[in-house]
Amino acid sequence: MNTVPNGILLVDKAEGWTSHDVVAKARRALGTRKVGHAGTLDPMATGLLTLGAGPATRLLTHLVGLDKTYTATIRLGAATVTDDREGDVLGVADAASIRAVEGDPAAIRDAIAALTGPIEQAPSAVSAIKVDGKRAYDLVRAGEQVELKKRPVTVHSFEAEDPRLVAVHGLDGGDVPVEVLDIDVVVSCSSGTYIRALARDLGEALGVGGHLTALRRTDVGPFSVVDATSNEQLAAGVVDPTCLLDPAAVAARLFPVLVLSEQQEIDLGHGKRLEIDETQPLSDGTDRAKLAAAIAPSGRLVGLIEVKNGRTRVVTNFPTAEGGATA
């Protein structure tokens, strides 16, 4: 019986590729249709995309909500429809306004501080969020005005380098270069935060408009882009085995671990609730967890379980890569 690929694949997505493109290439490279991803990246963006293959796709639900870290370049001085460089320009600030912002670093720091911590953020209008059953970006492309409701997000840190004055040709549709300010930033945030919206809101707060010109996701929870396979390798049908992470190793980085006995592995596989006591604590030393990784003596991830008062309940079970019935 052929073994189905089973793991979490880290990919360094290249610019111009959609997340669907990456999944399609991964399916060919891994030789399986059972591949999914946890959290999309815009075609303009680069960086870490987390994919699941085989039974490990069941872990993707638990990766979607992890915190993210991005590096980005914000351009102050022009607003766009999409809040990034791929959208039509809505307006350009005059040179005097740009110079005033450049000469007031305290105002930039204050505006960034106001966008740090727990905030209410309106997602970018050109997004995959549904409005009355339709994607927001489809409504915008159809010429409709879309204003999405603000939602709570958390920006854990928003670090910015000194702004640099640059001259950009064609930004306002004319032949004369337009002066704008570019700021390189590093943002660590909760899932669901739009970095494009941060650029837009920073520009609005400073009165000059703003949008993204570059975006790269460097981290998803404990996983880093430095450990990811490249698009080029994926396109060539090559998957670095070190970039296909074992499901048990991934779960152990996210949740407390319960090491099962052989009999407990069998019982959990049959859907039975387990009784554990102080002689078999979770790896964090407790006897309760909303989610814990139940790992067999062989090192295989059997399931994600809830542990309460020494009793277990299966939340997500994981079949073997060969497709046998398990927990």
Tens digit of each residue's pLDDT (9 = 90 or more) over 284-325: 888 788 999 999 999 999 999 999 988 999 999 887 755 444
Give kind and range of the element (H or E) at residue 28.
helix 19-30
| Beta bridge pairs of residue 181 | 76, 165
Position 326 confidence tier, pLDDT thresholds 50, 70, 90: very low
Compute the C-alpha angle 79/189/47, nearest 5°.
75
Mean pLDDT computed over 61-86: 95
Report the catalytic residues: 42
Q: What structural domains and CATH numbers belong to the chain?
A: 7-65+222-245 (3.30.2350.10), 68-218 (3.30.2350.10), 248-317 (2.30.130.10)
Q: What is the pLDDT of residue 136?
A: 53
Residue that the structure tokens 């460097």 belong to: 218
Q: What is the pLDDT of residue 119?
A: 98
Give the Cα separation of 164 and 169 in Å (integer). 16
Give 148-188 pLDDT, tens digit per residue. 789 999 999 999 999 999 999 888 777 889 999 999 999 99
Q: What is the pLDDT of residue 240?
A: 85
Query: Order of strands across the sheet with 301-308?
Result: 257-259, 289-295, 301-308, 311-317
- Tell me which range, 31-40, 177-186, 228-237, is most confidently predicted by mean pLDDT: 177-186
Taking the alpha carbons of 113, 114, 120, 123 in that order, is the dihedral positive or negative? negative
Q: How many CA atoms does the CB half-sphere of 314 hold within 13 Å?
A: 20
Give the Cα separation of 138 and 154 in Å (integer). 27
Q: Is 48 exposed, middle or buried (0-12, 13-18, 19+ CB in 10 A)?
A: buried
What 3-state DSSP class applies to 55? helix
> How much is the mean pLDDT over the chain?
89
